[in-house]
């Protein structure tokens, strides 16, 4: 996979505008209408943010069953985006593996849902 150049330098205040939270997947469904293989996630971010939905191209490494109850990191303050017939409300975060397939961002300790990245 080709490397991606480093993005332009931004002020720290710009980074703080991106609200990245931990949520727990409460439902994972197939998304056959998507142009690229994807699934629909319903994610609980706790009482302050609530339940949001996301389209995620993560079918290569994750089954629907193993996604349910998994904690994921997501940007919760982007504008909703229309993905075919589905409205994606949050951006679930991952990194590309050697083949360019998405590997979800993970945490190495138990973290309460709704926690913000800092």
Element (H, E) at 63: none
Q: What sections of 1-118 are H helices per DSSP?
A: 12-16, 64-67
Helix (H, G, I), strand (E, B) or coil at 82: strand
Whole-model pTM over 0.85: yes
| CB within 8 Å of 72: residues ≥ 6 apart | 22, 23, 24, 25, 41, 43, 92, 93, 104, 105
Residue 44 and residue 23 in contact, taking contact as beta carbons nearer than 8 Å? yes
Instruction: Give whole-number Cα distances, 85 to 15, 31, 61, 68, 94, in Å.
Output: 31, 10, 24, 22, 23
Dump pLDDT digits (tens) for 84-104.
999 999 999 999 999 999 999
Is pLDDT of 47 > 90?
yes
How far is residue 12's CA from residue 3's CA, in Å, rounded to a whole number? Answer: 24
Is pLDDT of 113 > 90?
yes
How far is residue 36's CA from residue 45's CA, in Å, rounded to a whole number? Answer: 26
């Amino acid at each position: 996979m080709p490397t991606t150049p480093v993005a332009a330098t931004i002020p720290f205040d710009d980074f703080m505008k991106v609200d990245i939270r931990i949520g727990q997947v409460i439902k994972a469904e197939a998304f056959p209408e998507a142009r690229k293989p994807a699934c629909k996630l319903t994610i609980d971010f706790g009482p302050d943010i609530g339940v949001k939905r996301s389209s995620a191209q993560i079918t290569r490494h994750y089954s629907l069953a193993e996604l349910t109850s998994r904690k994921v990191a997501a940007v919760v303050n982007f504008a909703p985006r229309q993905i075919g017939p589905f409205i994606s409300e949050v951006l679930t975060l991952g990194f590309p593996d050697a083949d360019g397939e998405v590997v979800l961002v993970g945490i190495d300790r138990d973290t309460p849902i709704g926690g913000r990245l800092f």
